[in-house]
């Protein structure tokens, strides 16, 4: 038994974090809310150059031929920075099946984020040629998630593995989002003074944040375990607990920030709204618990 990441895996995580600290700041995400694509111009190419979309691709197809444990921490980072790109859908989902590693794929059940800017679309009905479908825009609470209903022909495609891998990637993103929201709130609670002391010294505030940190502490190992086994029941456990961690962190973060957190001028909402959206995508916690129940009962 050795349940840990390698130094290399951690180094790549750190490398991606350093990149995103520069290239996917809150200002970038905020800009994506109002720009034409909902994405960060130029970021996709940098993620491709870094190798994110090549990790799971077989080496004989020009990828790195690695496995999900090599990818999961990177996806967690894309959650931490609320990266508004179809990176999970591509790097974990359909990308490993493609010949080219630079193609972005928009994937969804019926609502597909970023379908208008991706080079391939995949829904529950199959794979779509973006030039042959009609896209109906639907607004998301997360302004960077440009959602579309897809009308038109589809090429049927067995996508069970795609669903599993994307679900796990979203669970990893939820962990990253939870971590980011906790971090933002801890920083704020150390600075913000009321009654002459930092609000982070009050027990009520401490306990909200401790609960969020606890939820994250016990979600991550399930996500990492599922990355190693890729068992559907394990993936469902990961998604259920990661959603819980993200939603608990979002609630705690908003409450501890008070009114400033309730504004769109402040950055918290960028991460909070992403976590709300992801929590109900790819099966919510209850759906995944039901699937675990079928496996264990």
Partner 1 sequence: MPSKSKHTISMAPVWQAFGTIRAPFMDLTFTAEEEAFRAECRAWLSANVPRPALPSGDTGDGFAAHLDWERKLFDARYAVVSWPREYGGRDASLWEWLIFEEEYYRAGAPQRVTQNGIFLLAPTIFEFGTQAQKDRLLPKMAAAEQTWCQGWSEPNAGSDLAGIQSRARRAHDGWRLSGQKTWTTRGAFCTHLFGLFRSDPDAERHRGLTYFLVDLSSPGVTVRPVERLDGDEGFAEVFLDDVLVGDDDVLGEPNHGWEVAMATTGSERGLTLRSPGRFLATAQRLIELWHAHGDDPALRDRLVAAYVDAEAYRWQTFWTVTRIVDGARTGSESSMVKVFWSELDIRLHELALDLLGPHAELLDGDDAAWMKGYEFALAGPIYAGTNEIQRNVIAERVLGLPRR
User: Site residues (CB under 8 A) for partner 1?
Assistant: 1-6, 8, 12, 15, 18-19, 21-23, 46, 49-51, 54-55, 64-66, 69-70, 182, 186, 189-190, 197-198, 200-201, 203, 205-207, 209-211, 213-214, 217-222, 224-225, 228-229, 237, 240-241, 286, 289-290, 292-293, 296-297
Task: Give the nearest distance from C-beta 198 to partner 1 in angstroms.
Answer: 5
Distance in angstroms (rounded) separating the CA atoms of residues 261 and 61? 46
Phi, psi of 166 (to 5 degrees): -70, -45
Of 162, 177, 176, 174, nearest to 92 by C-alpha is 162
Question: What is the nearest approach in angstroms of partner 1 to the Cβ of residue 240?
Answer: 6
Nearer to partner 1, 93 or 200 (CB): 200
Q: Using the minimum distance from each CB to partner 1, give the nearer residue, 45 or 109.
A: 45
Shortest distance, position 294 Cβ to partner 1, whole Å: 9
195 in the Ramachandran plot: left (φ > 0), alpha (ψ -120 to 50) or beta?
Answer: left
Output 112 or 246, the one with its CB closest to partner 1. 246
Least spacing, CB of residue 17 vs partner 1, in Å: 10
Choose among 76, 104, 57, 63: nearest CA to 14: 76
Question: In whole angstroms, what is the distance from residue 105 CA to residue 96 CA?
Answer: 11
Return the structure tokens found at 74.
Answer: 């990177």
105-107 vs 120-123, strand pairing mode: parallel
CB 121, min distance to partner 1, A: 27
Nearer to partner 1, 32 or 219 (CB): 219
């Amino acid at each position: 038994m050795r349940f840990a990441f390698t130094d290399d895996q951690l180094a790549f995580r750190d490398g991606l974090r350093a990149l995103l600290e520069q290239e996917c700041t809150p200002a970038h995400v905020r800009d994506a809310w109002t720009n034409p694509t909902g994405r960060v111009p130029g970021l996709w190419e940098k993620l491709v150059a870094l190798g994110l979309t090549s990790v799971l691709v077989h080496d004989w197809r020009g990828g790195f031929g690695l496995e999900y444990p090599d990818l999961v921490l990177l996806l967690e980072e894309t959650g931490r920075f609320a990266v508004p790109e179809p990176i999970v859908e591509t790097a974990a989902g359909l990308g490993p099946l493609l010949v080219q590693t630079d193609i972005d794929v928009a994937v969804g059940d019926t609502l597909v984020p970023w379908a208008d800017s991706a080079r391939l679309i995949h829904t529950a009905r199959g794979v779509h040629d973006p030039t042959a479908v009609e896209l109906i825009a639907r607004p998301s609470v997360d302004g960077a998630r440009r959602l579309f209903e897809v009308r038109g022909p589809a090429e049927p495609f067995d996508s069970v593995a795609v669903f599993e891998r994307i679900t796990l990637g979203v669970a990893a993103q939820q962990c990253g989002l939870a971590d980011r929201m906790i971090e933002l709130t801890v920083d704020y609670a150390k600075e913000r003074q009321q009654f002459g002391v930092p609000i982070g010294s009050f027990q009520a505030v401490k306990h909200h944040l401790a609960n969020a940190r606890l939820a994250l502490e016990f979600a991550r190992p399930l996500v990492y375990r599922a990355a190693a086994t890729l068992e559907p029941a394990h993936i469902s456990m990961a998604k259920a607990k990661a959603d819980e961690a993200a939603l608990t962190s979002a609630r705690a973060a908003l409450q501890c920030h008070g009114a400033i957190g309730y504004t769109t001028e402040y950055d918290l909402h960028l991460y909070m709204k992403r976590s709300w959206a992801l929590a109900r995508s790819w099966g919510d916690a209850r759906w995944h618990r039901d699937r675990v129940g079928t496996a264990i009962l």
